[in-house]
A and B are shown apart, each in its own frame.
Chain A
């Protein structure tokens, strides 16, 4: 087991602050202390070489969990073992064996070329010259960034920068990689490239990856296993396709008509979720799709027609709604 988490808890204390000057003055003398339970009794374990996705809405506790697993935060309760170490003891040997990439925070020096930051990390992690150049060559080839090594980091595009961030965190060949929103803000092509890289790197080096993302695609394509958390609790742990199947009984028919169609007439086919006269989206049960499609095509002047699965993020949103 690469990671074992048991009953992990994290509470934050914060102060209530109401709007207005009078309240501000009042707060100088008395502040109401509130407790936020960011993570509540989370337990899971991850095998070596697995890629596990961490899915949940903003404020669900994903990043807090990653921060505890990397030793940045102390938990309020519970235990965790990462590669046999307790993360928040912050042992040097532990630090040398994992890396964390925070998508919204750069570890590159903006005014220097990324190569200089790699050199710094090489020194920080005490990597010898030969391993350094071998690792760097490999990563540069995988990510196709040879030309960018000597460009000032702040002149890189967001996608290029993220590639450099990944190189910077892999230069010491960690055994575990925590990725917090690695594709945030990137365009579709860059996202795809980052995903491809993560998959290839995982296959080649059997590195354990725990990643959080808002983008369903990241999770769908990379993670055979997903842990869904909401309000600090694990709602689901397993193959994401299982969520999909439990929601797959609902399909969406997207229809475009040649002329305006009365919405009342469509209602008999299923739940009309969108309608503007010529376009309509109708939700119906999986098994009714053939019959409904046939009738629609027969009875209306259909221009375009598509059957879609319910998007997985909506499925997950429903799952959250159920759990919460």
Chain B
């Protein structure tokens, strides 16, 4: 019980820290909306000029809903703790976790979940509102059915993205100035996750390749659940794959972390 209390406290601390930074979150949301707005104009122009009902398998409404929801879901799963991990590694801050009876991975994980908790509700509401706004004919029953999958898929996506970026952050053991690598990887992973465009846009080959990676399951997959693009069977299968990837990355991060710790020399003599 007390062991659980430990991590529950981490969760709360993450949450409080996020609330301290609520303005930061709102500003991020506003600046993120510019990119979304740009895309809305882009797709509107493309649909109008092409005179077509669908592009890359998306109707105009579906596409608009996708880019808006992708914008906010990207923000929800976005990590940022990789910089803190790198900082801990570089400055020797990791030492304080070594001397305390706490597991660094779980500490980070629960802080991360905690920091996401206050935003989650807000983001869920916006996402649902977007779907309803774009597709006015949607039945309440159908919406509930999609939500029944969307909510767990989103939680799994959050956990999955945590482990992806935890693995990325371990790079800092070998790269003293890891931030440049983080920025590049962040962008690449966001694109491969479908955080910018729907993955269908990049063509079938690309889709095939990324489907063997964990990335589409963090953004592309949950949005398509909400968007009504995939069948119930595919939803279930997707969630299973999310779980599988979480287990795989958890194992990898454990191994890499051990390797990294061997390299870790607390700074200062």
- CB pair B8–A73 under 8 Å, yes or no, is no
Judging by beta carbons under 8 Å apart, are A125 and B266 in contact? no
Minimum CB distance partner of A100 in chain B:
B99
Report the bound CA distance from A290 to B91 in whole Å: 54
Q: How far is the CA of A111 from the CA of B115 in the complex (A)?
A: 13
Q: Taking CB as reference atom, which chain B residue is nearest A232?
A: B269
Please give the number of chain A residues whose Cβ is less than 8 angstroms from any Cβ of chain B in the complex: 34
Contact partners of B100 in chain A: CB under 8 A:
95, 121, 124-125
- Contact present for B2 and A126 (CB under 8 Å): yes
Tell me how far the C-beta of A32 lies from the nearest C-beta in chain B, rounded to whole angstroms. Answer: 19
A105 in contact with B95 (CB, 8 Å): yes
Interface majority SS (helix, strand, loop, mixed), chain B: helix
Among A38, A95, A100, which residue has its beta carbon within 8 angstroms of that of B269?
A38
Alpha-carbon gap, A112 to B21, bound state (A)? 11
A-B contact count (CB 8 A): 72
Whether the Cβ atoms of A12 and B269 lie closer than 8 Å is yes
The reply to whether A72 and B101 contact each other, CB–CB distance below 8 Å, is no
In the complex, what residue of chain B is closest to A128 when comparing beta carbons? B2
Partner of B93, one of A71, A90, A105: A105
- Name the distance in Å between A39's Cβ and chain B's nearest Cβ: 9
Cβ-based interface call for A238 (8 A) = no
**Complex contacts, B93 vs chain A, CB 8 Å:** 105
Quick check: A72 and B20 within 8 Å, CB to CB? no
Pick the most buried of B5, B16, B21, B268: most chain A CB atoms within 10 A of its CB.
B268
Which chain B positions have C-beta within 8 A of A126? 2-3, 5-6, 101
CA distance A200 to B192 in the complex (A): 60
Question: Using a CB–CB distance below 8 Å, which chain A residues touch chain B?
Answer: 12, 38, 59, 61, 63-64, 67, 70-73, 90, 92, 95-96, 98-100, 102, 104-105, 107, 109, 111-112, 116, 119-126
Q: A123-B2, A124-B102, A126-B3 are in contact. List 12 more A-B contacts (CB 8 A).
A: A73-B265, A95-B101, A98-B99, A105-B91, A105-B93, A112-B16, A119-B9, A120-B10, A121-B100, A123-B9, A124-B6, A126-B6
* B residues at A contact (CB < 8 Å): 2-3, 5-6, 8-10, 13, 16-17, 20-21, 91-93, 95-96, 98-102, 265-266, 268-269
10 A–B pairs (Cβ distance < 8 Å), ordered by A: A59-B269, A67-B266, A92-B101, A102-B95, A109-B17, A111-B20, A120-B10, A123-B8, A124-B6, A126-B3
